[in-house]
Amino acid sequence: MPARKVIAVESSSEGEEDLVEFKQSNKKRKLEATQSTADGKTKGATPKHELSGKKTKNGTPSKRAKGSFKACFSGPRIPKDEAMQRWPERYSIKKSKVNKPEDDNDKKLRQSPNDEDAEESGPSKCVAHYSRAEVDGTIYELGNCVHVHSGGEQNFIARIVEFFEDDKRKSWFTAQWFYRVEDTAIKVVDDVKNDKKRVFYSEVRDFNALDCLDSKIKIVRLSPLHHFNTLTPKPLPPCDYYYDMGYDISYSRFYALPPEVDTGSDGSDITNCNEMSSGPASSSQSEIRSDNNEATSGVLKEYTLLDLYSGCGGMSTGLCMGAMLSSVKLVARWALDLNPNACKSLEYNHPETKVRNESAEDFLMLLKEWRKLCEKYVEREDVDDSKARKRRKSVTADPDDEADTTSAKTEPGEFEVEKIIGIRYSSETDSGKAGIEMKVRWKGYGPSDDTWEPLENLGTCDDCVRKFVVEGKKNKILPLPGDVDVVCGGPPCQGASGFNRFRNRENPLQCERNRQIIVYMDIVDYLKPRFVLMENVVDILRFANGILGRYALARLVKMHYQAQLGMMVAGCYGLPQFRMRVFIWGAAPRETLPPYPMPTHDVVPKGGIPQEWERNMVAYDEDKKPTLLRALNLGDALRDLPPVKNSETRDEISYGGGAQTEFQRFIRLPKDVLTGVCSLASCKKQKMMLYDHRPLNLNTDDYQRVCRIPHQKGANFRNLPGLIIKDDNTVALDETVERELLPSGKPLVPDYAITFVKGKSLKPFGRLWWDETVPTVVTRAEPHNQALLHPVQDRVLTIRENARLQGFPDYYKLFGPVKERYVQVGNAVAVPVGRVLGYSLGLAIRHAVGSSPTMELPAKFPQSQMKSSAQQISDIPLEPLDDEAGDD
């Protein structure tokens, strides 16, 4: 098994790693402040100043630097038996360990401003504990919330949990820290204005010199529902700060605090505002609907999902499959994408989904207008029964009456509305006025004559509009706030892509190519789902100091969602491609934040992890030796597929043989088995066809080049004649021989292949091999700058082969031109990654997982959780591997 470097993702029991991160965050902000003073370029930073210039609350210069103030314990000692019971670790060591400070800013947090000798070590052996201290005339008690000197403009925020004295008669206190927003992974996001009074509870504790205490403050603990889903801000009780969530640096995790969190012991002056947490913050259905997952009839309760920027449906397909494996019926009720072919693919494979082909901006405006129409036309609960019956009668009029009313003679040139069959929001109309449009079926005409008409033009058709709205709300053709349990999606952020040479580094969120992440969060803010899952490329954490990733976290936290960010590698969940992506979870305050499933397959990370976000990598610690399955390769996924030519045009063909590996056996399973409708034993037997197993038809020149690439591992354009390899491993034309031309007159070796990456690349016309994996499935099939050639056939990988590398089951059929289908597959979330996330989501919906940010999947997942037993699936016979399989 190859060595595997993994990233530590858990903090130590003493919280030392969290403490280092906490202080490094503040240290970095102070460094930025220094740079700001020097060049005036850093935004949001505060000027650095010396501690001697610090002003106290009464405005007089601090006396600390001169050593003329008093810092000592007051009152009697705590009895030693009681102290040893409350702080046993303090008496079990001879000397407390301290991380060596990296600079003067870190020293100021731990050490007294007056004691240079204290800088080299922490407290020595503890000899006594106290419950009270006096610092510069202020009395402090255990449990008090305080400002602690930081050496910067903003003091640190903490709660005193311990007073003790060491055998050198030095005085110390232990602080339990609170984070400001800018201390967290969010830092400062100018486009999201956070409440300066809001802080976040943490489990980070450490000792500090007593005279670092600055002043007492008041912190209020609010119910997590205090601000959630409220139309108008609720007033805060008198306080300096408030908190409603905790923060953990592992996975940048903002989490709801359980009631038992210790904030009220030791005389704590943290106020719990229980009167504000006695009920839901509003009538949000997402917060008050029942969590009973199974109806009395034994049928699973249905949970709804909205898939934004859905593409062909990779993420929602995986999520729904995974949720079903955890006994939760998650159904993608709505989906949205701009690509009409992707919409057609999703609609075919998910007939239960209402798929809309429109922009996310128009969709959000439509949702708002739809809500107004529902309020206008649909009966309210307080409407008198007789009025309601009368209204329903007008909506569902007798056909004979309707005939009477519609038989009135129409004027020449007028058309009569038969019914309304659709609705949309149009930002671009012939009249230039944006607004709602209705799709009209005209009386006496067929579907081909349907037209979109502005709502204001249908003033004389109020009954038709009313009927459409009433039926539409009943059938939930569009979601209203409270209708959606889960929103998922991957808003495109091309403005952050490393392939974009014209990225806006100064104001990334003002770039039109990055705007969709804002729209995505606006839709979440409007619908207020119970859970949110956003997927994106790792570049959102690399580009412009990770501003796009920080923005997503900041928006969720500002909306008072719990949130966490993790990076997952597709290959770690049973695929022969690496493909690392960012997944950000959000969960409403009363929900369980879904954990990240740990890897099941032994895949070696290939770098590319932004250093600042290493704690967000979903992986095992280096010192842990889990039993993982071996990494899959191309042979595991593709060797059973029948050979096809470059010129193949059929969309459906037969397999021609059986599966050869467990991966192939699983991915061939019928749809009803994979989606949990039935077991393999009870599934109706039918002949399975292979869809989309056709390649991009290369042009004549490229095909002739491909035919000259040897069928061997590592072969590429460098194997063609007329080239030399220099000592620095760059390629160049061999000037000693005549350059070979194709029948078209173009060179056999194109110039773009020679000059790609300054002659260092091995990718142009590269041939893949059976024992390899691919870095990531891409959206293009031209072999000009990617290794895309089949190992033993003279063509690029087919659409189906790419789909298998993405984990799409073989039953999943795609639509559109060949190039469009490649794009759909390349843009999708890998289905197995969606499946493991769906499984953890289902457990979270059932509150069947704890508070850990990660979880381990069951053995032999997913087969072990399916209705079909693992034995039933393994009983499907495998054909022997043929080393020459697929060779032309």
Q: Which amino acids are annotated catalytic? A: 493
Nearest alpha-carbon partner for 254 in 552, 510, 477, 500: 552
Cα gap 847→28, rounded to integer Å? 38
Give 3-state DSSP helix, strand, coil % of the chain, rounded to 5.
30, 20, 50
Task: Give the Å distances, CA to CA, from 170 to 96, 114, 135, 846, 869.
Answer: 13, 12, 14, 51, 66
Q: Closest Cα to residue 831, out of 866, 807, 814, 805?
A: 807
Residues 746 and 742: their CA atoms lie apart, in Å, by 5
Helix (H) or strand (E) holding 374: helix 360-377
- Residue 496's nearest CA partner among 508, 488, 484 is 508
Contact 9, 617 (CB under 8 A): yes
- Could you tell me if 839 and 325 are in contact, meaning their C-beta atoms sit under 8 angstroms apart? yes
**Preceding amide of 862 cis, omega within 30:** yes
Backbone angles phi, psi at 90, to 5 degrees: -70, -25
- Residue 582 — φ and ψ, nearest 5°? -95, 135
Tokens representing 587 are 């969960």
Q: What angle do CA 452, 455, 456 make, to 5 degrees?
A: 130
Sign of the Cα pseudo-torsion (675, 680, 684, 689, in order) = positive
Contacts of 94 (CB under 8 A, 6+ apart): 124, 125
Give the sheet arrangement for strand 241-243, strand by strand: 241-243, 219-221, 271-272
Distance CA 702, CA 698 (A): 6
In 366-464, beta strands by DSSP E:
417-426, 435-442, 451-454
Q: Give the Cα separation of 871 and 864 in Å (integer).
A: 9
Strand-pair category, 71-73 with 132-135: antiparallel
Q: What is the rounded (10 degree) CA torsion for 776, 781, 782, 788?
A: 50
Cα–Cα nearest to 799, from 818, 815, 776, 784: 818
Q: Are 522 and 534 in contact (CB under 8 A)?
A: no
Nearest to 635 by CA among 888, 809, 883, 878: 883
The Cα–Cα gap between 430 and 428 comes to 7
Cβ of 611: how many Cβ atoms within 10 Å? 5
Query: Is beta strand 596-597 parallel, antiparallel or unpaired with respect to 854-855?
Result: parallel
Which residues, other chains included, contact 152 with Cβ-Cβ below 8 Å and sequence gap of 6+? 26, 29, 30, 33, 46, 48, 49, 105
**Spatial distance between the Cα atoms of 113 and 154, rounded to a whole number of angstroms:** 17
Distance CA(99)–CA(369), nearest Å, equals 58
Count CA atoms within 13 Å of residue 134 on its CB side: 8
The closest alpha carbon to 665, from 531, 567, 738, 574, belongs to 574
Could you tell me how many helices (H) and strands (E) the chain has, helices first?
A: 23, 34
The two structure tokens encoding residue 731:
């390629």
